[in-house]
A and B are shown apart, each in its own frame.
Chain A
Amino acid sequence: MPTSAYRLADPLSPYLALTRHFALVMQMARRNVAGRYRGSFAGLFWSFFSPLLMLVIYTFVFGVIFKSRWNEQTTNHFQYAMVLFAGLNISTFFSECAQRATTLIVEHSNFVKRVVFPLETLTWSTIGSGLFHLFVSTIVLLAVLPFVMGYVPWTVIFFPIVVVCFLPFVAASVWLLASLGVYVRDLSQVVGIVTMALMFLAPILYPRTLIPVPYRALLYFNPLTIIAEASQNVLVFGRPPVWSHLAFYALASWLVAWLAFAWFEQTRKGFADVV
């Protein structure tokens, strides 16, 4: 195993890691999801209950107390909470995966030292369990939308496409952070701050139009911006995503995943020495 089990020059290699070990990835992802609630009284019920509770709190705080409005045109105070939730789900999905990534390898030191394990698949199983929570939150949002807005937009069907464009970027972050996290143990502290910054610096809590024009373009350096906006568009506003943005994002995201995967495969040789 001195060299990678993949042909790294192949731009599809990151996805081979998924397809080759699909059963294993699914089992691990299931284990991640179930593991979080294992032994708790209400079990999987929490994965539905906690996003629902959050949504209710947002609605109350921002709709009733702050009477926030997403923009001038809307009169519906509760819409703000819906838009916030749609964007926040994306950011939560990302920060959950990124935060887990920093300790991913160290926590599974057994898999590094004691059994022969395709470590690269840990990324996909982390994403898998993150996707489960994103899926549940989205279902909760779609269930509440009719009561608040009176409809569920048809553009919901585009949501999976938006997520698929996002995944390579998340995978790239996980591979990169997982690898670096082995060597630089302070990483998890840094990642907590960075993911929070990314959330605040994306149009999630506020619309892009609120930002002064000179700074507005900077927003697009935030990798969450395009996806969060697309998510708000298709889930709440009933607008299709901006296809050109999304296409560009998909391309960039896939490129980064390729590089990060190659980095991971190159640096994994040293894991056993320091884990």
Chain B
Amino acid sequence: MSSDDFSIRVEGLSKRYEIYAHPADRLKQMILPRVQRAVRRPAHAWFSEFWALRDVSFEVRKGETVGIVGRNGSGKSTLLQMICGTLNPTLGKISVNGRIAALLELGAGFNPEFTGRENIRLSGLLYGLSEQELDARHDAILDFAEIGGFIDQPVKTYSSGMYVRLAFAVAINVSPDVLVVDEALSVGDEAFQRKCFARIDQIRASGATVLFVSHATGTVTSLCNRALLLDRGELLTEGSPKYVVSRYQKILYSPADKYQSIRERIKSAKETDAFLVEEKGPLRAMAAGIAGADEPDVLEEPAADDRIATKLVADKAAGNGCGKEAGGSFFEKGLVPKSTFRYDSHGALILDPHVETPGGRRVNILEAQREYVYAYRVRFDRTARDVRCGMLIKAVTGLELAGCITSWHGQSLRRVEAGSEVEVRFRFPCLFASGAYFLNAGVQGCVAGEDIYLDRWIDGAMFKVLHQPGRLATTTMDLGIKPEIRVATGVTVR
């Protein structure tokens, strides 16, 4: 990689906020210590300090989309502000390659008394556009903002949605080399959000770099190809969005007493290499990883007593005519999730989450349109009441596709004694397109009068769906949509 391939480079960045009791103290701090040093007296500090960011280093390559996650007060905004140049770093260096447009505080440069048109001009100039560039983009901005006749009204009369749409339209139409987005996408209706994402995609496709901060972890996983986790001003870990988001959630839900140890563990752990193959998109990386293991290590023969499964498939075949002889699905030992993440247990342990055929044969390479069972056992160390178990199927991007729980609160297993073991089975039709899928498992219940997660696995198991030739359904799920096409008038040749 050549040295000017980077878009943002941050080296040893630290920010100390100096908190002054009076604004005048800031002025004293600028002048008096120099005087004191000049007369060889110890310099006095007029502020109390707060380190918002400590020794953060990372590099963003051109064209990457990088997400930053972290709890409130973890230093995300400080970092972004320094990258944009509104804040000065106390220590360290930032280099940014190219024009940077920030959606930090949308409409911050707007004057409420002025019309939308005037504000477009003003904030365009703020972004460093020339008058000519502004004229050229004016129509595109108006189109994007969808404000209609209100554009000639003062922006104070705008609804908050219109206000932000206009601000967004300006920011996103300045053709930045680096786009910094901070929580800005939670505005507008879904159609507008979709448009924003499409526009960000377009900006990305044109080779720009996007830096993205959000609490919406789903957005981070689906939009970014790398993520950083900040906590208390420190860069805890970086890696694939899925990996980082799972660590973020761990931090987020950690009890106060365990927080430090969890934090240390995340900091010292490194993501396995398989997850760092992100440039072609996680899905392809995963597929490549599987294809790389040419010969499956273990290819279990169909079990002889797989009668129930055969019967089931036969039933299905009779029903909709899509069934085949069982046995197309098999187990591949190497295919285990590398992103498995276990929450701390509270009195129960989930054991061995896996997928099997209805007959009980363990599989992880599945055929579409057949039924399978997701099963796990739960061992109870403490007596629990009101026990419910749940599952969730997710796509590689982290998108949650489908979930199920064994029962609602109140209709669940009344009481499970300590030492007992519970078996949970979720039967599901494999309605997915080819690709890899991940499974969560969770047990909720009442221990010591408190209704909590007794145990919880993220990405406890995974399966891959084989490509199905002749599949008409597009994208992820096949809901059995029946296409029909005929010539209404006229003649056509087939």
| A contacts, CB < 8 Å to B | 1-2, 23-24, 27-28, 31, 34-35, 38-39, 110-117, 180, 182-185, 266-267, 269-270, 272-274
Chain B CB within 10 A, most for which of A31, A113, A116, A267:
A116
Q: A23-B130, A31-B118, A116-B84 are in contact. Are A273 and B105 (CB under 8 A)?
A: no
* CB < 8 Å neighbour of B126 from A38, A112, A117: A117
**Complex CA–CA separation, A108 to B162 (angstroms):** 23
**Complex CA–CA separation, A270 to B24 (angstroms):** 11
Q: A1-B85, A270-B30, A274-B26 are in contact. Are A114 and B105 (CB under 8 A)?
A: yes
Chain A CB within 8 A of B18 CB = yes
**Complex CA–CA separation, A28 to B119 (angstroms):** 11
Q: B113 to chain A: which residues have CB within 8 Å?
A: 35, 38-39
Residues of B80-102 whose CB lies within 8 A of A:
81, 84-89, 102
For the complex of A and B, list the 4 residue pairs with the smallest distance between their C-beta atoms, beginning with the closest: A114-B108, A183-B27, A274-B23, A114-B105
**Complex CA–CA separation, A273 to B108 (angstroms):** 18
Chain A CB within 8 A of B51 CB = no
A107 to chain B, nearest CB (A): 11
* CB < 8 Å neighbour of A2 from B17, B27, B89, B126: B89
A-B contact pairs, 30 of them (CB 8 A): A2-B88, A2-B89, A23-B130, A24-B125, A28-B122, A31-B111, A31-B114, A31-B118, A38-B113, A110-B109, A112-B86, A113-B86, A114-B108, A115-B102, A115-B104, A115-B109, A116-B102, A117-B109, A183-B23, A183-B27, A184-B27, A185-B23, A266-B30, A267-B30, A269-B88, A270-B27, A270-B29, A272-B86, A273-B20, A274-B23
Interface of B is mostly: mixed
**Complex CA–CA separation, A232 to B352 (angstroms):** 95
Q: B89 to chain A: which residues have CB within 8 Å?
A: 2
**Complex CA–CA separation, A267 to B104 (angstroms):** 25
* CB < 8 Å neighbour of B23 from A2, A28, A113, A184: A184
Q: How large is the interface on B (under 10, 10 to 19, 20 to 34, 35 or more residues)?
A: 20 to 34
B47 to chain A, nearest CB (A): 8
Q: B131 to chain A: which residues have CB within 8 Å?
A: 23
* CB < 8 Å neighbour of A115 from B23, B86, B118: B86
B18, A273: Cβ atoms closer than 8 Å = yes
Interface of A is mostly: helix
Contact with A along B8-37 (1 / 0, CB 8 A): 000000000110100110110110000000
Q: What residue of chain B has the Cβ atom nearest to residue A108's Cβ? A: B109
**Complex CA–CA separation, A143 to B413 (angstroms):** 95
Q: What residue of chain B has the Cβ atom nearest to residue A272's Cβ? A: B87
B17, A273: Cβ atoms closer than 8 Å = yes
Chain A CB within 8 A of B379 CB = no
* CB < 8 Å neighbour of A23 from B20, B27, B111, B125: B125
B135 to chain A, nearest CB (A): 12
Chain A CB within 10 A, most for which of B18, B89, B113:
B113
**Complex CA–CA separation, A2 to B87 (angstroms):** 9
A172 to chain B, nearest CB (A): 18
B126, A115: Cβ atoms closer than 8 Å = yes
Chain A CB within 8 A of B121 CB = yes
Q: A183-B23, A267-B30, A273-B18 are in contact. Are A35 and B111 (CB under 8 A)?
A: yes
Q: B130 to chain A: which residues have CB within 8 Å?
A: 23
Known: A24-B126, A110-B105, A273-B20. 9 other contacts (CB 8 A): A35-B114, A113-B87, A114-B86, A115-B108, A115-B126, A116-B84, A183-B27, A267-B30, A273-B17
Q: What residue of chain A has the Cβ atom nearest to residue B111's Cβ? A: A31
**Complex CA–CA separation, A116 to B83 (angstroms):** 11
A57 to chain B, nearest CB (A): 30
Q: What residue of chain A has the Cβ atom nearest to residue B126's Cβ? A: A115
**Complex CA–CA separation, A47 to B102 (angstroms):** 37
Q: A39 to chain B: which residues have CB within 8 Å?
A: 113, 154
Q: B24 to chain A: which residues have CB within 8 Å?
A: 183-184
**Complex CA–CA separation, A38 to B109 (angstroms):** 18
B30, A274: Cβ atoms closer than 8 Å = no
**Complex CA–CA separation, A183 to B30 (angstroms):** 11
Q: A267 to chain B: which residues have CB within 8 Å?
A: 27, 30
Q: B87 to chain A: which residues have CB within 8 Å?
A: 113, 272
B359 to chain A, nearest CB (A): 62
Q: A111-B109, A117-B109 are in contact. Are A38 and B86 (CB under 8 A)?
A: no
Residues of B381-403 whose CB lies within 8 A of A:
none
B1 to chain A, nearest CB (A): 27
B25 to chain A, nearest CB (A): 8
**Complex CA–CA separation, A274 to B111 (angstroms):** 22
**Complex CA–CA separation, A199 to B331 (angstroms):** 93
**Complex CA–CA separation, A111 to B104 (angstroms):** 12
Q: A35 to chain B: which residues have CB within 8 Å?
A: 111, 113-114
Q: A274 to chain B: which residues have CB within 8 Å?
A: 20, 23, 26
Q: A180 to chain B: which residues have CB within 8 Å?
A: 27
Contact with A along B208-219 (1 / 0, CB 8 A): 000000000000
Q: What residue of chain B has the Cβ atom nearest to residue A118's Cβ? A: B126
**Complex CA–CA separation, A76 to B483 (angstroms):** 98
Contact with A along B100-141 (1 / 0, CB 8 A): 001011001101011000100110011000110000000000
Q: B125 to chain A: which residues have CB within 8 Å?
A: 23-24, 27
A39 to chain B, nearest CB (A): 7
**Complex CA–CA separation, A38 to B89 (angstroms):** 39
**Complex CA–CA separation, A31 to B154 (angstroms):** 13
Q: B104 to chain A: which residues have CB within 8 Å?
A: 114-115
Q: A38 to chain B: which residues have CB within 8 Å?
A: 113-114, 154
A17 to chain B, nearest CB (A): 15
Q: B26 to chain A: which residues have CB within 8 Å?
A: 182-183, 270, 273-274
Q: A269 to chain B: which residues have CB within 8 Å?
A: 88
**Complex CA–CA separation, A112 to B108 (angstroms):** 11
Q: A183 to chain B: which residues have CB within 8 Å?
A: 23-24, 26-27
Q: B29 to chain A: which residues have CB within 8 Å?
A: 270
A117 to chain B, nearest CB (A): 6
B366 to chain A, nearest CB (A): 51
**Complex CA–CA separation, A31 to B155 (angstroms):** 14
Q: What residue of chain B has the Cβ atom nearest to residue A270's Cβ? A: B26
B105 to chain A, nearest CB (A): 4
**Complex CA–CA separation, A270 to B88 (angstroms):** 9
A196 to chain B, nearest CB (A): 24
**Complex CA–CA separation, A183 to B20 (angstroms):** 10
A105 to chain B, nearest CB (A): 11
**Complex CA–CA separation, A34 to B121 (angstroms):** 15
**Complex CA–CA separation, A134 to B108 (angstroms):** 31
**Complex CA–CA separation, A111 to B110 (angstroms):** 10
Q: A185 to chain B: which residues have CB within 8 Å?
A: 23
**Complex CA–CA separation, A23 to B104 (angstroms):** 24
**Complex CA–CA separation, A266 to B26 (angstroms):** 13
